[in-house]
Amino acid sequence: MERSYKAQKVIDRLGQKLNRQVVGSLVACVHCGNCTDSCHYVLANPDDPTYAPAWKGDRLRKIFKKHFDWTGRVVPWWVGAKSPETDADLEELKDIVFGKCTNCRRCTMNCPMGVDFATFNRLTRGLLVHVGIMPEGVAVVSKDQWELGNQMGVLKEDYIDTVEWMSDELVDEVGDDKAAIPIDKSDVEVMYTINPREAKYDPRTISDAAKIFWAAGESYTMPSEGWDMTNFGLFSGDDELGGTVSRRVYEKAQALRAKKVVISECGHGYRSTLCEGANWAQFDVDFVMESSVQTMLRYIKEGKIKVDKSLNISSYTYHDSCNFARSCGMTEEPRELLNLVVSDFREMYPNRAENYCCTGGGGAMSMTEYTPQRLKSARVKADQLKATGAKVVVTSCHNCVDGLTDLIKHYGLDMEVTQLVNLVANSLLVEKAAEVPEAEHAVSTTLAFAGRTILVVDDEADARRFIATVLEDNGATVLQAVDGDEALQMMRDKKPDLVTLDLSMPGKDGGRVFEEIRNDSELSGARVCIITGKPELRRLIYERPVREPEGYINKPIQEDVLVSNLRRILELTNKAA
């Protein structure tokens, strides 16, 4: 049988990508099995050998032996040398390297031979991406980052509107015009880069960071471009994407003559921008880069900001992000900072470089076809979280926030997820806001949703009642629907300004209702905020069978989160139809 065109291309590409480190890892494995117990996939699937790192690694090792190693030429039967021959073989390989590994590197740390399995798992992903074989979510996100400059498809005007909105909110909150967030200010100490998830779905982290910069009196700016410090090239194995994305951040920092790039809390963004990007981009970096965790810690130590740990009243544990802790050694600074802003800190075991993956790493959140196996493997993490007895898990990674949120819902844990920036901002001691004159006060207390009609779709009466009460208290006219069909009819009849849509409904579930809305020429432009804890949400965000929702909120719903997110949607997004 003649080898398929793509299979041959993969083999050719492997020859171009081999280097000493990869070859060292490919030949050094003695199949001792030490890696097996280190992998969360194996621990959750003890009877399935195909999850073992050594077995997974052998998929690439067989190709290497067959085509690039003398043992494969001399004793191919002994070393298991084998080629991929068909496109189906490549699809099978895809399901292993994308679906059965998050590149967390825990097996690497536990290999006595120093085999870096995660490195050649990433390499194998890159070989497949090169010939166009990848999960749909990886394709969607990579294309967004190549073309729009960020991996969540945030348009430039939406990003700037969001930053400006957060800036206005912060100025109102602290009563000081100096708290405004600068954009593209030159000759600053700090250029602050973020994860697009913050601009798209979690803008509170932007205003929290800005509040800290303001309180510290920092000379900083947010850039209008080159602001996305995440890098899907790390996940997809595409070094050229990796270099392109990193270069945008570096070039912008140089253009603004910023002395330092501060990277917000994101594990893979930190690793990509600080550790890998300059190599991918072949770029001489002439400025300092650091994590916002280090920045915040320094502000406290230098007395630039003051915090009161009694303002964070829950019990907290800390989840080490794989890229942040295991790959970049950032283990002590977050703990030191956390202990400065909370009183009840409970260590998780194992921890630091030995911590288990959140199960959302390596781009797993975007690969929704593997969600069932991801959530199954999350049992290990769920057990770890539960054993801490903490009510809140803190992490310095946006991927981990989503991964942990999904597994907390899936395993019914009574926990929340937050980040250090939120805790530091919440514990910040700042001067009381200036007295607001009576006239201005009247303006600022105008109800948030006055004149707006909002449709609340949820099958649970309690949930509907809670959301409706909050929205009505804030001036909205609220319509209610108990299922998808009623919601679609109400949207046609009443044309609400916004729809909050529960995903978990009997009958026609929310995901299907959402797709119907987007595919309906009359309704497609409606603003929709998904309310859920279901992983189905990830498919709508990452694979985008239709244009993504304007926002989402996790259950259980917090009143302030509900109001601020719906306000953002109503004020910043235009109806597309």
Partner 1 sequence: MTASHLVTLVPSLNDARQHSWGAFMCAENREKKVNGRTIRLLQHDITLLEGVDAFVFYAQHDLRLGSGWGNAIMSRGGPSIQKELDALGRIETCQVVVTGAGELKAKHILHAVGPRFQEANLEAKLKKTVSEVLAQADKAGLESLAIPPMGYGFYGVPLPMTAKVMVDTIKEHLESHKDSKLKDVVICLNDKREIAPFESRLSALN
With contacts defined by CB under 8 A, how many residues of the chain interact with partner 1?
39
What the block records as the tokens of 229 is: 């410090």
Using CB under 8 A as the binding rule, whether residue 147 contacts partner 1 is answered as yes
Using CB under 8 A as the binding rule, whether residue 94 contacts partner 1 is answered as no
What residue spans of 217-343 are helical by DSSP H? 232-236, 239-255, 267-270, 277-281, 292-301, 332-341
Note the maximum CA span of the chain. 88
Sole window of 101-109, 134-142, 439-447, 450-458 interacting with partner 1 (rule: CB under 8 A): 134-142
Residue 14 Cβ, how far from partner 1 at the closest point, in Å?
Answer: 13
Using CB under 8 A as the binding rule, whether residue 525 contacts partner 1 is answered as yes
What the block records as the tokens of 3 is: 């080898």
Using CB under 8 A as the binding rule, whether residue 253 contacts partner 1 is answered as no
Cα–Cα distance measured from residue 228 to residue 283, given in angstroms and rounded to the nearest whole number: 17
Using CB under 8 A as the binding rule, whether residue 576 contacts partner 1 is answered as yes
Other Cβ atoms within 10 Å of 70 Cβ, number: 9
Kindly give the interhelix angle for 20-28 and 117-130, rounded to the nearest 10 degrees.
120
Using CB under 8 A as the binding rule, whether residue 148 contacts partner 1 is answered as yes
Using CB under 8 A as the binding rule, whether residue 156 contacts partner 1 is answered as yes
Using CB under 8 A as the binding rule, whether residue 17 contacts partner 1 is answered as no
For residues 459 and 490, the answer to whether their CB atoms sit within 8 Å is no
**Short-list 122, 119, 99, CA closest to 233:** 122
Other Cβ atoms within 10 Å of 301 Cβ, number: 12
Sole window of 221-229, 285-293, 435-443, 497-505 interacting with partner 1 (rule: CB under 8 A): 221-229
DSSP tally for the chain: helices H, then strands E: 29, 13
Using CB under 8 A as the binding rule, whether residue 4 contacts partner 1 is answered as no
Using CB under 8 A as the binding rule, whether residue 131 contacts partner 1 is answered as yes
Neighbouring C-alpha atoms within 13 Å toward the C-beta of 519: 9
Convert residues 476-515 into a mask of x (bound to partner 1 by CB under 8 A) and - (unbound): ----------------------------------------
φ, ψ (nearest 5 deg) of residue 3: -65, 145
Sole window of 66-74, 129-137, 289-297, 356-364 interacting with partner 1 (rule: CB under 8 A): 129-137
Q: Terminal CA-to-CA distance of the chain, rounded, Å?
A: 53
Using CB under 8 A as the binding rule, whether residue 155 contacts partner 1 is answered as yes
Choose which of 32, 74, 313, 577 interacts with partner 1 (CB under 8 A): 577
Residue 217 Cβ, how far from partner 1 at the closest point, in Å?
Answer: 25
In what helix (H) or strand (E) does residue 532 lie, and over which residues does it extend? strand 528-532
Using CB under 8 A as the binding rule, whether residue 184 contacts partner 1 is answered as yes
Sole window of 143-151, 212-220, 336-344, 464-472 interacting with partner 1 (rule: CB under 8 A): 143-151
Say if strands 477-481 and 528-532 run parallel, antiparallel, or are unpaired.
unpaired
Closest CB to partner 1 among residues 155, 450: 155
Using CB under 8 A as the binding rule, whether residue 9 contacts partner 1 is answered as yes
**Short-list 60, 38, 36, CA closest to 48:** 36
Cα–Cα distance measured from residue 14 to residue 21, given in angstroms and rounded to the nearest whole number: 14
Using CB under 8 A as the binding rule, whether residue 524 contacts partner 1 is answered as yes
Choose which of 3, 17, 67, 143 interacts with partner 1 (CB under 8 A): 143
Cα dihedral sign, 59-60-61-66: positive
For residues 20 and 119, the answer to whether their CB atoms sit within 8 Å is no
Sole window of 4-12, 322-330, 483-491, 554-562 interacting with partner 1 (rule: CB under 8 A): 4-12
Using CB under 8 A as the binding rule, whether residue 284 contacts partner 1 is answered as no
Using CB under 8 A as the binding rule, whether residue 369 contacts partner 1 is answered as no
What the block records as the tokens of 12 is: 């050719």
Using CB under 8 A as the binding rule, whether residue 521 contacts partner 1 is answered as yes
Q: Which residues contact 66 (CB under 8 A, 6 or more apart)?
A: 72, 76, 81, 82, 83
Sole window of 78-86, 155-163, 286-294, 397-405 interacting with partner 1 (rule: CB under 8 A): 155-163
Using CB under 8 A as the binding rule, whether residue 144 contacts partner 1 is answered as yes
List residues binding partner 1 (CB under 8 A).
Answer: 5-6, 9, 130-132, 139-144, 146-149, 153, 155-157, 160-161, 183-184, 224-226, 241, 244, 247-248, 251, 521, 524-525, 544, 547, 576-577
